[in-house]
Structure 1
Amino acid sequence: MARDSIVILGAGIIGLDVAIELSKRGYGKYVTVIAEHLPGDTSIDYTSPWAGANFSGISGGDANALRWDRAGYTLMMEMIDKKVTEARYLEKTESTEYWDEMPQPDKIQSMTEYLRDLVIIPKSELPKAVAFGIKFTTVTINAPAHCQHLKTLLSEPEYGSVPFIRRRASRLQDAFLSENTKLVFNCIGNSAITLSGVSDAKCYPTRGQILLVKAPSVKQNIMRHGNGYETYVIPRPLSDGSVILGGYMQKGNSFPNVKEEETKSILQRTGELLPVLLNGEVEIIGAVVGLRPSREGGARVEQERISDKIVIHNYGAGGTGFQAGIGMAVDAVDLAAESLKELNQKSML
């Protein structure tokens, strides 16, 4: 097989997770990643660095979302336990989550089966207007550092010396770099809306605004899932006391600029959720906007055959890319099993 036998289009957390999964299965040396934006960039069009990021109950209750959540949580916890290299910027953190409306029974049942140290909070202890709450051990992630770390690992011989090429694709066909390219993983994020050859009408951006602050006394993750809003406090591992405060989930909104009134709302809501934020030590480092790559009906992970070539679509995770991405990557690479087998056989000829 040639170096560009397998191409990953997109270098956000979804594309990076696919690259890691391929590397683990021995295909790293046949992979090339092409993307307009790479880890380290800070463009509004590059979502992953702006994420909280953590494992939470923010995802939907459909079967795929529940399965990807479970896989992501279980695998990340195992990575931390085993102290594997990929888990450098992952950390176990105490977490409390509240819902203003009762989650679906399937979601509650699923969470009780795998979340570590899970406690369902008695109704008598819930804040006013909260219908359901849990405490458990979650995973928090230093999103920008984690993405850069994965890129660095993938560039090393042990992972396949995967090359990253900065290139903007205007059509899906651009991902087929040469006649050698037989398999493409389409991890294009928000560009799935406009990319020729994909143009998925079910996709839309979900705007979020967050604050990056210094708050060294914050050691816990806490979230409140409301009707039309999300409030969250997420400490960043290995960041010298940095914390993400949020936020917003504005469907179909792609306004790129920070809004001062939203900054004030975030500070008020997170202070009410975690009063330690009102102790005077919080220093605002910056406010940023990110556009989550969302999709009606949930993420798309499926195979498409184009002549004698295969595309594995893997996009539309919305705000769950860091928690669901590993499970999605496993499914995506599994879908390519026959193509990978054929490529492997050719490489031995």
Structure 2
Amino acid sequence: MKSESVVIIGAGIIGLKVALVLAERGYGSQTTIIAEHLPGDTSINYTSPWAGANFSALSASDKNALRWDQLGYKHLLKLAAQDGKNAFVRETPSTEYWDEMPSRTKLDSMASYLKDVTTVQRDSSAGPTRGCCNKFTTVTLNAPMHVHYVLRRLRQQYGVRVIRKKVLSVTSGFLSKDTKVVFNCTGNAARNLQGVEDPKCYPTRGQILLAKAPHINQNVMRHGKDYETYIIPRPHSKGNVILGGYMQKGVDLPDTLGDETESILSRTKAMLPELESSETEILAAFAGMRPSREGGARVASEVVQVDESERKGLVVHDYGAGGTGFQAGYGMGS
């Protein structure tokens, strides 16, 4: 089969993990990735390098989300154990606070596969830890270095071809008559991509701080109705930590704001007082646009007309993961 038998549009974490799943199943040399932005690029339209990133209980409670999470967690645990340093992935102790109890379905699902998991329900007088507290072993990732690692493996180990090109329509993914299937992993761009134009897509803006805090070796998060606060160590980064954050639905402002920086510092220090230390140094602020979608991620296939000759082709849509791409991407591609 030709190298363009399978084409993936997009080289964010979703596109890369779809390519990895296909490569592991023997399709690497038949796969081509087409993307405007690749690992190593800096753009407000290329979200993956700005991610926290970790495995969190943040995701939805529907059947698909629960399945994707479980597959993703097992994949990341295996990666941490077998190639953690090269993959920039590491097991990390985690505490997650919820202002409101998650659904029983979600709690039961997490309890069935998370390592060292305990869940404690807390009363309303517990201040910032009211509602629910989960403790478990999470997996943290150094996002910009991890996407580099995945792309390098795809190219060197599996022979995946990569083309830098902006794609304006989903049918442009059919590079030749040999292209059998196109995976649409375009994230926020799916809203305007010709042939897709999904009105349910929207950006969710986040602002984060990159800090040097080598004494912080735990993951801590607090989930509220309209906010997220988190502390995520970046593995194999000589002590860098991500502090966040914001979940601003429908906002696409690329700027970083000083008052948001102050809010992040205030919230994270209140949650983990150890940050108030002479060892903590704020290095930079960044903003990113999570690729969100009303109703959750779209993972579905459809047959489309490729050209005027009435040639038909298969498109598999895989986008809209919001802030869960690093934890669910492998499961979404499986």
Which TM class, normalised by the smaller chain length?
over 0.9
Give the alignment of 1:241-280 within 5 angstroms: 241-280=239-278
- Per mean C-alpha deviation after superposition, the further-off stretch among 114-123 and 85-94 is 85-94
Q: Give how far 1:311 is off.
A: 0.5
User: What percent identity do the matched residue pairs reach?
Assistant: 55
Q: Does 1:328 align with 2:327?
A: no
- Counterpart of 1:119? 118
Q: Give how far 1:126 is off.
A: 8.6
- Per mean C-alpha deviation after superposition, the further-off stretch among 297-306 and 122-131 is 122-131
**Aligned mates of 2:85, 2:151 — CA distance in 1:** 10
Question: Structure 1 residues 126 and 113 mapped into 2: Cα distance closer, same or farther (>3 Å)?
Answer: farther
What's the secondary structure of 1:18's corresponding residue? helix
Q: Give how far 1:79 is off.
A: 2.8
Q: Give how far 1:87 is off.
A: 6.7
- Counterpart of 2:41? 41
Q: Does 1:188 align with 2:171?
A: no
- Counterpart of 2:230? 232
What's the secondary structure of 1:190's corresponding residue? helix
Q: Give how far 1:121 is off.
A: 3.0
What's the secondary structure of 2:127's corresponding residue? coil
Q: Give how far 1:241 is off.
A: 0.3
Q: Give how far 1:253 is off.
A: 0.5
CA offset digits 1:116-158 (Å, max 9, x no partner): 10112353799415200011100000110000111111111x3
- Counterpart of 1:17? 17
Which residue type is aligned with residue 214 of structure 1? K
- Counterpart of 2:308? none
- Counterpart of 2:74? 74
- Counterpart of 2:318? 314
Q: Does 1:103 align with 2:102?
A: yes
What's the secondary structure of 2:270's corresponding residue? helix
Q: Give how far 1:176 is off.
A: 1.2
Question: Structure 1 residues 211 and 75 mapped into 2: Cα distance closer, same or farther (>3 Å)?
Answer: same
CA offset digits 1:226-280 (Å, max 9, x no partner): 1211000000011000000000000001011001100000000000011010112
- Per mean C-alpha deviation after superposition, the further-off stretch among 276-285 and 90-99 is 276-285
**Aligned mates of 2:77, 2:149 — CA distance in 1:** 18
Q: Give how far 1:163 is off.
A: 1.8
Aligned residues: 327
**Aligned mates of 2:217, 2:84 — CA distance in 1:** 23
Q: Alignment RMSD, CA only?
A: 1.5
Determine if contact 2:86/2:149 at 8 Å carries over to the other structure: no
Determine if contact 1:76/1:87 at 8 Å carries over to the other structure: no
- Counterpart of 1:289? 287
**Aligned mates of 1:71, 1:126 — CA distance in 2:** 36
Could you tell me the TM-score, scaled by structure 1's length? Answer: 0.91
- Counterpart of 1:342? none
Determine if contact 1:126/1:133 at 8 Å carries over to the other structure: no
Which residue type is aligned with residue 107 of structure 1? K
**Aligned mates of 2:182, 2:55 — CA distance in 1:** 28
Question: Structure 1 residues 72 and 126 mapped into 2: Cα distance closer, same or farther (>3 Å)?
Answer: farther
Question: Structure 1 residues 85 and 99 mapped into 2: Cα distance closer, same or farther (>3 Å)?
Answer: closer
5+ unaligned residues in a row in structure 1: which ranges?
A: 331-349
- Per mean C-alpha deviation after superposition, the further-off stretch among 106-115 and 117-126 is 117-126
User: Which of 167, 170, 173 lines up with 2:171 in the alignment?
Assistant: 173
Which residue type is aligned with residue 50 of structure 1? W
CA offset digits 1:58-82 (Å, max 9, x no partner): 111111111111111122112323x
Q: Give how far 1:86 is off.
A: 9.5
What's the secondary structure of 1:237's corresponding residue? coil
- Counterpart of 1:298? 296
Could you tell me the TM-score, scaled by structure 2's length? Answer: 0.95
Determine if contact 1:79/1:87 at 8 Å carries over to the other structure: no
**Aligned mates of 1:313, 1:165 — CA distance in 2:** 20
What's the secondary structure of 1:165's corresponding residue? strand
